[in-house]
Amino acid sequence: MALSVHALTTLAAVKDFLKIEIDDNQYDTLLERMINAASEAIEGYCNRHFERGVYDELYRGNGRQLLGLNQYPVQAVTLVEANGARITDYQVYKEEGMLYRLALWPAGAYFTGLVGDPVGSTRNIRVLYEAGYVLPKDEDLQASPPIIRTLPYDLEDACIELVALKFNQRQEEAAGKVTRAQADYQTTYQQDIPPRLRQVLDRHRRLVVV
């Protein structure tokens, strides 16, 4: 199994943490699957993607000056439209993933009934942008120019520790130290992220406003 585009660490880093020799490949497929699962769990907990990519997303105009984007840090904004019209009078707060507009982000609404009452907001703001980090697996120091990882190290360490927790629980089960029922309960991912790792992830968690 190959690492997914969302993988927050590498097989080599996990094997080094677990003190598994790099040429010992008996657990490689299992560890790659665990890396993928742990990375997805962390993204789910943090309500965002971390890999650098291009995103084409729709948002509800809020009638305010700030519009929060789903992904960050923002690398570049290619296009912003409101109700089908292009908008250029905005500023980008890259690290926070925010678009600031003095003239406010217009709210959209559905209209219904005989008098056309507004009954709900629509996703009337389109943003095409590039955001995210260069993940460890995508680093290429031999490229020209070199591609250097930018993912915060505490995020990668959290992923490594979650994989190690899952892997060690599996090894204990195989050795008969825990029962299958205990192992099934212990080896869930997002639900059982340890509190100390949650404290780390909370620093990178996107607040979802309903």
| 57 shares a domain with 155 | no
At residue 206, what are phi and psi to the nearest 5 degrees? -85, 130
**pLDDT tens profile 54-82:** 999 999 999 999 999 999 999 999 999 99
Secondary structure percentages of the chain, helix, strand, coil, to 5:
35, 20, 45
| 169 lies in some domain | yes
Indicate the pLDDT class of residue 108, thresholds 50, 70 and 90. Answer: confident
Which residues are 100's β-sheet partners?
66, 91
Within a domain: 210: no
200: containing domain: 11-49+135-204
| Among candidate residues 131, 165, 181, the one where a domain is terminated | 131
Note whether 128 and 55 are within 8 A (CB). Answer: yes
Helices 153-174, 11-18: inter-axial angle, 10-degree rounding: 60
pLDDT at residue 202 tops 70:
yes
Task: Please indicate, yes or no, whether residues 121 and 87 belong to a single structural domain of this protein.
Answer: yes
Query: Does the pLDDT at position 115 exceed 60?
Result: no
> Is 45 in the same domain as 140?
yes
- Residue 42 shares a structural domain with residue 140: yes
Confidence of residue 114 (pLDDT cuts 50, 70, 90): low
Query: Are 58 and 41 part of one and the same domain?
Result: no
**What confidence score (pLDDT) does residue 183 get?**
47
Do 71 and 116 belong together in one domain? yes
Average pLDDT rounded to a whole number, residues 95-110 = 90
Domain count across the chain: 2
Identify the pLDDT of residue 59.
96
